[in-house]
Amino acid sequence: MDSQFENKLYKRFPDLYRERTAPLESSKMGWGVQCGNGWYKIIYELSQKIEKIAASGEHSPAISEVARHKDGTLHVEVRNLTPPIADLITTARERSRLTCEYCSYSPAFLREMKGAKEQHIACGRCLNKFAGKSKPPHRKRKQKPRRASDVMVVKR
C-alpha cells in the first residue's frame, strides 16, 4: 500500500497500530501494510470498528500484521484478540474476497496473474492492465460497393 495511505491509518489509529515501531522479530507491522490500495477502505473501516469496541489500556488490541493471504484475501493479525474482534476480521476478509485489491472495484474475482506466484483478487480492468493485454483496435468491416439505383440486377 502507498505510504500516504499507511500514514493516514497510523495517524488516525495510533494505539491500534502501535506495533509498527516494534522489532521485526515480534511484529510484522514494521514491514507496513502489505496489500494493494484498493483494500484501504476495508482496512480503515475495520480499524474504526475495532477502536469502537476495544477496551483501552495495557491489554487493548494491537494490529501486528496486515497482508494478503495465500488464497488472495486480506489477512489481519491482532494481538489481544477477543471474539467480537475476530468476527470483524472475518467480515473484512470476506469483503476483500469480492473487492479489487488495486482499485477497490466490486465485484472482483480471484485471478492468477502472469509473473506472480500468488493469486490476487482483481477486476477485469486491472487484470488486463497488469497483464499487458488491451482490446484490439476496432476494424471497420469492408462494405460492398453500392450499385446505382437505376441499374436493375436480374439473376438467372
Determine the Cα–Cα distance for residues 108 and 57; give it in Å rounded to an integer.
Answer: 39
Closest CA to 12 of 52, 39, 71: 52
Mean pLDDT on 32-42: 93
Determine the Cα–Cα distance for residues 53 and 30; give it in Å rounded to an integer.
Answer: 25
Mean pLDDT on 87-95: 96
- pLDDT, residue 97, reads 94
In this prediction, residue 148 has a pLDDT band, given cuts at 50, 70 and 90, of low
Is the pLDDT assigned to residue 151 strictly greater than 80? no
Per-residue pLDDT reduced to its tens digit, 49-90: 999 998 777 789 999 999 999 888 999 999 999 999 999 999
What 53-62 contacts at long range (C-beta under 8 Å, 24+ apart), as own/partner pairs, is: 53/84, 53/85, 53/88, 54/16, 54/82, 54/85, 56/15, 60/15, 60/16, 61/16, 61/85, 62/15, 62/16, 62/17, 62/18, 62/19
Determine the Cα–Cα distance for residues 79 and 16; give it in Å rounded to an integer.
Answer: 10
Q: pLDDT higher for 74 or 112? A: 74
Share of the chain above pLDDT 90, in %: 48
Neighbours of 97 (CB within 10 A): 16
- pLDDT, residue 120, reads 85
> What are the residues whose beta carbons fall under 8 Å from the beta carbon of 25, sequence distance 6 or more?
none
Instruction: Kindly report whether the global pTM for this prediction surpasses the value 0.85.
Output: no
- pLDDT, residue 84, reads 94
Is the pLDDT assigned to residue 117 strictly greater than 60? no
